[in-house]
Amino acid sequence: MDLVLRDAEVVDGTGGPSYRADVALDGGRIAAIVKEGAAAGCQRPTARRVLDVEGLALSPGFVDMHAHSDLALLRDPDHSAKAAQGVTLEVLGQDGLSYAPADDRTQEKIRTAISGWNGGAPGDTDVDFDWRTVGEYLDRLDRGVAVNAAYLVPQGTVRMYAVGWEDRPATAAELDRMRELVAEGLEQGAVGMSSGLTYTPGMYADDAELTELCRVVARYGGYYCPHHRSYGAGALQAYEEMVALTRAAGCALHLAHAAMNFGVNKGRAPELLALLDRALDAGADITLDTYPYTPGCTTLAALLPSWAGEGGPEAVLARLRDEESAERIRHALEVTGSDGCHGVPVEWDTIEISGVQDPALASWVGDTVQELADAHGRTPWATARELLIADRLGTTILQHVGHEENVRAIMRHRVHTGGSDGILQGAKPHPRAYGTFPHYLGHYARELGVLSLEETVHHLTGRPAARLRLPDRGLVREGHRADLVLFDPATVAAGATFDAPRTPPTGIPHVLIDGKFVIEDGRRTDVLAGRSVRRTP
């Protein structure tokens, strides 16, 4: 054997009671599990290396069901933001916007559009964008990255490729091309399709178009992961829309960063959960993910009304510079409630600047738009408009619009999984990027008892692996891949806070991928054992 983890408290990912055992690893897989008190004559396993882990819990590696590390995995081999949390698999291509499939024309536009999420704006040479297809992107990951990664075909990028940035129905030929692109991505290894239905151009697709693409996803056994049309004024209707759409298509549904946000939804999580329970009881295939925090995180440009995004980033900037168009945008934001802001009039004191693309604007980070406006004697809209133009739409924000009672209620649900939605860019990113998984274990399981330790680990491992249809991951079981985490249940905690968002967690001394230590004694090794995890046929 390569390694024996001696006297571990195994929390196996099923949700069942933990047990004490020796766990032997060989060739990147779990070779043997010998429980304490095994039948007489059953020898304890031996290996070239034996590590005494008494007092530590051994669990499967955590699965981040909603990650924005599409470029970070290529740019930063260390990637301790996720590795140190015990994350061994991330699901990329989220919110309908990522970098494949693309051609030269669309890739430059998508790089501009989501530079606030990932960096990588045109002119950024940190990453060589030498892929165009989903398969080529996954091949790039296979050269060796910090953690494993799966990929969702991004519907907004697909629409950009086939239709452009126009707000109109797709033609029959364009819809056929989108079907082809989704099918090609799934054939090349994507696990499903994502949408960002408050982001342009994906939000221009109607339900009929989305249903047709979901039929393709269903044919390949994948799942649809929508950031749906509203988490605010129309949240329940938006959830209902996604449930009905996927049921019509016969497609599995995974609801991205499920939440009931803004003042209109305070205390309304039980209504959402009742809606989902009715659908589940009727036979729907539904899961969801959440992050264990109340603020959200996105780009400042994402708040703009959808009509302002037609034509792509340069057209948005032109409208912001034009006084008449800018006034229309302000009215939509502040009076009627734009679709980009979930149908709720924006409250500028809830919008905190978390990162900028232009270093000259660094002093804007950390304040709300309202605070910046007050400090400069200007209106909030004038302040936001100036920043959007000066930073070329690259500004990221924290949006303080969540409710703790809703967060706790949703995380208890029977189909819940964990996802960080972690944006790693910016001087002051959301701490969820660095703390989601230890925060679940330390704060919500140990301190609050919202879930038991075994339930929490199940939500973060076995359940997401089942959604991804991974037959040999997500459980501590003989024959499964040795993607494992060793943590101290008594001390595990997120170090990241809103004031110090990049602080590493505590209580996670060891993380293994493919049986190799990527975190050892609390420090990042130089191992790059991560690879693409492709759809299981």
Q: How far apart are CA 182 and CA 470, in angstroms?
A: 21
Judge whether 181 and 164 are in contact, CB under 8 Å. no
Strands 223-227, 57-60: pairing is unpaired
Query: Terminus-to-terminus CA distance in the chain, angstroms?
Result: 31
Q: What is the pLDDT of residue 58?
A: 98
Q: Is the per-residue pLDDT at 129 higher than 70?
A: yes
Query: Given the structure tokens 């260390």, which residue do they identify?
Result: 78
Q: What is the pLDDT of residue 38?
A: 75
Q: What is the pLDDT of residue 37?
A: 80
Region 90-105: mean pLDDT is 96
The 10s digit of each residue's pLDDT in 423-439 is 999 899 999 999 999 99
Give the residue among 472, 523, 500 at the shortest CA–CA distance from 27.
472
The 10s digit of each residue's pLDDT in 48-91 is 999 999 999 999 999 999 999 999 999 999 999 999 999 999 99
DSSP label at 383? H
- DSSP assignment of 73-122 equals HHH-S--HHHHTTTEEEEEESGGG--S-S--HHHHHHHHHHTHHHH---T
Judge whether 131 and 515 are in contact, CB under 8 Å. no
Percent composition of the chain: helix, strand, coil (DSSP 3-state, to 5): 40, 20, 40
Region 316-323: mean pLDDT is 97
Q: What is the pLDDT of residue 424?
A: 95
Give the residue among 259, 288, 463 at the shortest CA–CA distance from 454.
463
Q: Is the per-residue pLDDT at 41 higher than 70?
A: no
Query: Given the structure tokens 């309908």, which residue do they identify?
Result: 96
Q: Is the per-residue pLDDT at 537 higher than 90?
A: no
Q: What is the pLDDT of residue 123?
A: 87
* Confidence tier at 536 by pLDDT (50, 70, 90): confident
**Global pTM?**
0.96
- DSSP assignment of 302-332 equals GGS-GGGGTT-HHHHHHHHHSHHHHHHHHHI
Region 157-176: mean pLDDT is 97
Residue 325, exposed/middle/buried by CB under 10 A (0-12, 13-18, 19+)?
Answer: middle
Q: What is the pLDDT of residue 52?
A: 97
Q: Which two tokens stand for residue 252?
A: 């599995």
DSSP label at 188? T
The 10s digit of each residue's pLDDT in 142-158 is 999 999 999 999 999 99
Q: How far apart are CA 72 and CA 425, in angstroms?
A: 9
The residue type found at 477 is: R
Region 347-362: mean pLDDT is 95
Q: Is the per-residue pLDDT at 39 higher than 90?
A: no
Q: Which two tokens stand for residue 336?
A: 């009627």
Q: Which two tokens stand for residue 355?
A: 């990162």
